[in-house]
Amino acid sequence: MAFSPLDPAVPDCRPPLATPSRPRHALPAGACDTHCHVFGPADVFPYAEGRSYTPPDAPYARMAALHAHLGVQRAVVVQANCHGNDHAALLDALAQSQGRYRGVALLGADATAASVRQLHDGGVRGARFNFVPHLGGAPDPAVFDHVIGLIAPLGWHVCVHLDGAMLPELLPRLRALPVPFVVDHMGRIKAADGLDAPAFRALLALERVPQAWVKVSGIDRIASGKRPFAEGIPFVRALVDALPERTLWGTDWPHPNVAGDMPDDGELADAFFLACPDAETRRQVLVDNPARLYGFL
């Protein structure tokens, strides 16, 4: 049974900006937003029982309109905690995109080879695990291993959503995986701690781990919370410089559970241009890298 979208027992999160700015710089053809979410609509795709937040509806049509506004032609829709393991909204979005979008799933102990194959046929290419406390903390190791066993034969990757301080402890386990792994949102490091902070140095050290990728998404989550989040730009630049062939960019639209200013997605695109002024490297991050990892044609 699903909760009502207005269930008072579950905290709400704010909606994204209704009118984001248009980027000042044109994105290259084939640019990909590798981290966004689709929410509901709740009357068609109810939110999950036991979820930790209730989002405002952010359906496929609104997401596609944002991408057209930004000049984004491809995207990766990441299954959100509020929909749990019910991927109906995600699969509907991928089908409507007609091959322009890929997906990342949330899988649990009940996942089977047949259910994972169904997701694969629908355009899913990765599985995400939340390690952050506000989304339930670290997964059961047995469930983690079960899911890895199911996705490895299909060539999927793993997304890990963690706090940067966790990375040194988790890295030996991640390095032993038979699949690539992607660290979401720059490991949620804190810009205020500086470029030499141990957590960020551990993230930069992933340049020596061939199966490791990093998303330079969530710049607002590592910064002070005040637009345009300029203090996050040196961290994006450092990661692009360290892992140019394994860095991915994403908006994180519609920005669930943002504590500070609601991001302007046009400003987020402009921030990436400031962090990555070289056109060839920008194309690599925005086009070539996601095409390789997610299998875009």
**Residues classed as catalytic:** 252
**CA distance linking residue 107 with residue 79, whole number of Å:** 10
| Widest Cα–Cα separation across the chain | 50
- Asked if 215 and 185 count as a contact pair (C-beta separation under 8 A), the reply is yes
- Asked if 100 and 125 count as a contact pair (C-beta separation under 8 A), the reply is no
Residue 265 has which token pair? 């997605």
Q: What is the identity of the amino acid at 155? A: G
Total Cβ atoms within 10 A of residue 78: 25
DSSP codes of every residue in 249-272: ----TT-TT--SSPPPHHHHHHHH
